[in-house]
Homo-oligomer: A and B are copies of this chain.
């Protein structure tokens, strides 16, 4: 594998989405799925689905469509690390709790194993079965629990304070939900996903739709 290029971001996103649909199919006892059906579920063309699967080297040539289990496993081999990755959540407010509850119920290859907060009412307690530690313990707990990735769901005004602890602890990936864009040194993967941006984008295209409808 090590001679392969990394996949484009959008392809990775779609593969993650396909897999989730395939896992739902498995649960329902569905064994095969056509590319145009998988495409339809995700609002894509069959050509796009086939192109994505070609890019990861998956070929299937049955009249029944793709074998659901085989394709799900194939995508998992591409997307997942050999060992489950451990995740820490910085900021255990509503958003942090929503994410934690959502994730750990899903049996993914990713596990939230610890939360960090500055709120004395939360520190030392377990929230949704996840221990909550003080930010001062961050570096130590990351090492103990072998945490690779953090989710930043603290208030925006304190997001910057997490930057140095994250770097010092050797974190490899950050999913930043605050409004503060954070620039980490090269070698740390960062995705900034501000919910405001997502909503402003929807609002813009709604406005444009109305403009062009007139």
State the copy count for this chain. Answer: 2
Is B206 a contact of A12 with CB atoms below 8 Å?
no
Does A183 lie at the interface of the complex (its beta carbon under 8 Å from any beta carbon of B)? Answer: yes
We find that the number of chain A residues with CB closer than 8 angstroms to chain B is 71
Distance in Å from the Cβ of A76 to the closest Cβ of chain B?
A: 10
Q: Which residues of B contact A149 (CB under 8 A)?
A: 199, 202-203, 206
Does A214 lie at the interface of the complex (its beta carbon under 8 Å from any beta carbon of B)? Answer: yes
Does A169 lie at the interface of the complex (its beta carbon under 8 Å from any beta carbon of B)? Answer: no
Q: Which residues of B contact A172 (CB under 8 A)?
A: 206, 209-210
Distance in Å from the Cβ of A26 to the closest Cβ of chain B?
A: 15
Does A81 lie at the interface of the complex (its beta carbon under 8 Å from any beta carbon of B)? Answer: yes
Distance in Å from the Cβ of A39 to the closest Cβ of chain B?
A: 11
Distance in Å from the Cβ of A127 to the closest Cβ of chain B?
A: 11
Inter-chain CA distance A196–B18, complex, in Å, is 12
Distance in Å from the Cβ of A88 to the closest Cβ of chain B?
A: 12
For the complex with contacts A1-B211, A94-B94, A149-B203, 18 further pairs of A-B residues with Cβ separation under 8 Å are A2-B214, A13-B201, A16-B196, A16-B201, A20-B197, A43-B183, A43-B190, A94-B101, A102-B196, A103-B199, A109-B203, A149-B202, A172-B210, A173-B206, A174-B202, A175-B202, A187-B213, A191-B198
Q: Which residues of B contact A69 (CB under 8 A)?
A: none
Inter-chain CA distance A107–B107, complex, in Å, is 38
